Amino acid sequence: MNLTNYVKQVSLEDFGWEFRHQAYWNKRLRTTGGRFFPKDGHLDFNPKIYESFGLETFRKIVRHELVHYHLYYQRKGYRHGDRDFKELLKQVDGLRYAPPLSNSQAFLIYECLSCGALIRRRRRVNIKKYRCSRCMGRLAFLKEKLNGDCAN
């Protein structure tokens, strides 16, 4: 799928206005569905949203970013808190927030080999460099788990 052509099509069909810039996939996006750059007018989209939730949800994300885009170039309130933004987003049935990706809610569990303390982290820890903050003992990676898991 050519992303820029798809965004142009959505813009004409859902807004009746032309999209005149470029749209790109950005694999580095983690918690957001897309971004609008007022400086040069291009849009970035998270390919994981498209892969995980399908075209229908992705189209609503595209609408959200196009609301930013079109309001900015009409010199109206294009930020999330602005009335113009909220009204146009509701009018075109765009998503207010990106749906959460399952890996964005995962965390890592480390165990101190000296005192047995469990340490939860969102990012990886270099266990050769860092130590337990309680007893300065060495750390060992235990497991990765999702927020929905009940057991420690």
The response to whether 64 counts as a known ligand-binding position is yes
Element (H, E) at 140: strand 139-146
Q: Which two tokens stand for residue 148?
A: 């929905």
The response to whether 21 counts as a known ligand-binding position is no
Sheet holding 43-45, edge to edge: 23-25, 43-45, 34-36
Cα–Cα distance, 82 to 26 (Å, whole number): 26
Q: Is 87 designated active site?
A: no
13, 18, 51, 65: the active-site residue: 65
> Would you list which residues are annotated within the binding site?
64, 68
Residues taking part in catalysis = 65
